Structure 1
Amino acid sequence: MEKRILVPTNFSKHAWNALVYGFGLYKNIPCTFYVLNAYQSGSSLPEKFSLSKSSGRNAHEKAREESREGLEKILQGLSFRKENQRHQFETLSSSQPLPEAIQDAVDKHNIDLILMGSKGENVSINSAYENTVTAISEKIEKCPILVIPEESSPTTDVVREVVFPTSFRMIFKLKELTALMDIASSFKAGILVLYIDTDNKGLNKEQETNKKILKDYFSKFDCSFHTLTKTTISTGTRLFIESRQSDLLAIYKRKQGFFSKLFAQPFVEEIDFNPNIPVLVLKEND
């Protein structure tokens, strides 16, 4: 089945890196990549996501022209890449703020995954601070987001295993996990389901049931279940990833509140874990 992938760009290295990463991710799958530039994004977003902050008709026209020219250059660059004839490309230019432009594209084009580049070595998932990743992930609904650190290598064998922390306190809808399973299938990667037992009480009956449902969902994959005790969720997840040198972190985010349902219980610790690996943000889906 063809996938529809949205890649926001500010014409930077990390935005291009995210696009190239997508080529490897979907190397065996027909895809349409929608490359989006929002040329009048809000001032809270990083430099270059807003090509022109000036007001007035002339400034607006200039910004729109710069956006179109930048997207045309990307298409020209893509014309030299012949590794996958099953990949198609379309460009989108929008004068809306970036989150609104992304949501509009998701709704109009039935997007399956958003690929975003993150400047620097880390992906900030600390919702206490304003940044592009937080702004987008808080506002975008019903579409998963894969955030790629700038230094990640866009090779086709980059993902050996995906860490998926969960509290087993909810039942996931299968379609909410589709992006995770697509990645595991594409790279033949293992799925490591991680439970942080913060109170050292073990799983109750409801959690055991939900764990069994996940086992059924992931039955066709190389899936294993892991438990850590006497640690916090952030620290435990970070140490687990570092100890195994895992390649990707998948987290689940509800429409409201902090990242991931794994933080559903009363949670006062700040989320200060900023991975240096790609982060897949799975979204709640009605």
Structure 2
Amino acid sequence: MKTILIPIDFSKNALQALQYAQELYKCTRAEFYLLHAFAEEVYGPYQTTTVEERKTLERDIRAKVEKKLANLVSSIEGTPPNPLHRFITVAAFDSLVDAANDLVEKHNLDLIIMGTHGENSTHKTTFGSYTIEVFKYVKCPVLAVPSDFEYKQPKAILFPTDYMLPFKRRELKLLSELAGNFKSEIHFLYLSDFNVLSARQVDNQLFLKGNLTKAYLFFETAPVKNRVETILEYIKEHDVDMLTMVNSRHSFFEDMLYSSTIDQLGLKIKIPFLVMQNLPR
């Protein structure tokens, strides 16, 4: 059974991500944890209130959130409901990152699926600030679904890598099962001006092959030049349905998170983006 966390702020993008999750795991036993973290709603505009006033406000907001979450579940369960799916609602007086991490550790969750804010005048990128924070700090794979993305089976998955990371079996199992469900292709794109791999890179590539047995694997190399543009070109030319990378210290993805390249990618990517973690948990 898959355990999946979906942050819910009741926006169109969050509800779209929830619908995407239901379709993606339509034929899989799954528990969906619908999380609304509301600490900012208490502290944001009421910083000068007393402790008692904050407690009252917290209680009132929690009651409203729990009611909205219950109504949401009633509206999405379907008639008849999918017997493979179960929904658990969580109203957390906490930040999104802390609440998500607590749930991931408590329930050993497999995946977070969340909607992005879309390109707008505030963020100017597909990946809003909350999405970036979850990418960085929550110890769980994250699947970000772009605004207005219409569900499509992930038949072709692009995985840019330098083969330098010691991949985690649990993360690869998640990807392997996802690809296996849809008989998907995974295209590994090695961004390098050299075709020869080191012994370490060969070992890591063999590890990928041994753990992604349910997918059709393709291994390709592209010159470095502009890495983001190369990725975007490959997505367009090969009709890619999902992009995945690994977040780890000193990785290409970490470089992207702390530089303007994540904005370049976020401005243009129109497909779901799976960020796998290389962290112990």
TM-score strictly above 0.5: yes
For residues 70 and 250 of structure 2, what CA distance do their matches in structure 1 show? 38
Aligned-pair distance for 1:75?
1.5
Q: What residue ranges of structure 2 are gaps of 5+ in the alignment?
A: 47-53
Q: CA RMSD in A?
A: 2.7
Q: Does 1:75 align with 2:73?
A: yes
Cα distance, 1:130–1:116 mapped onto 2, change above 3 Å:
closer
Distance change in 2, residues 1:53/1:230 (3 Å): closer
Given candidates 170, 176, 190, the residue that maps to 2:165 is: 170
SS class of match (2:194): coil
Partner of 1:273 in structure 2? 265
The one-letter code matched in structure 2 to 1:103 is N
In structure 1, runs of 5+ residues without a counterpart are 42-49
Q: Aligned with 2:265: secondary structure?
A: coil
AA of the residue aligned to 2:83:
Q
Distance 2:224 2:59 in 1: 58
Distance 1:180 1:240 in 2: 20
Q: Mapping of 1:30-45 within 5 angstroms?
A: 30-41=29-40
Match in the other structure for 2:141: 144
Question: Secondary structure of the equivalent of 1:119?
Answer: coil
* Distance change >3 Å, CA 245–CA 25, structure 1 → 2: same
Cα distance in 2 for partners of 1:96, 1:201 equals 48
Are the structure 2 counterparts of residues 54 and 192 from structure 1 closer, same or farther at C-alpha, using a change threshold of 3 Å? same
Corresponding pairs, count = 266
Q: CA separation in 2, counterparts of 1:257 and 1:130? A: 23
Q: 1:285/1:82 Cα in 2 relative to 1: closer, same or farther (>3 Å)?
A: farther
Contact 1:121 1:276 in 2 (8 A): no
**Residue in structure 1 matched with residue 178 of structure 2 by the alignment:** 183
1:1-20: CA deviation from partner (whole Å, max 9, x where unpaired) = x1111111001111111111
- Structure 1 Cα separation of the partners of residues 75 and 214 of structure 2: 38
1:118 aligns with 2:116: yes
Q: Please state if 1:260 is matched with 2:253.
A: yes
> Pick from 68, 87, 95: which aligns with 1:97?
95
Instruction: Give the structure 2 partner of residue 218 of structure 1.
Output: 212
**Cα deviation per residue 1:124-155 (whole Å; 9 max; x = unaligned)?**
9x8xx9711111111111x111111121113x
* Corresponding residue for residue 62 of structure 2: 64
- The letter of the residue matching 1:253 is N
Percent identical residues: 28
Shift of 1:258: 6.2
Go from structure 1 to structure 2 and tell me whether the alpha carbon gap of 1:81 and 1:280 turns closer, same or farther (over 3 Å shift). Answer: farther
TM-score, reference length from structure 1:
0.84
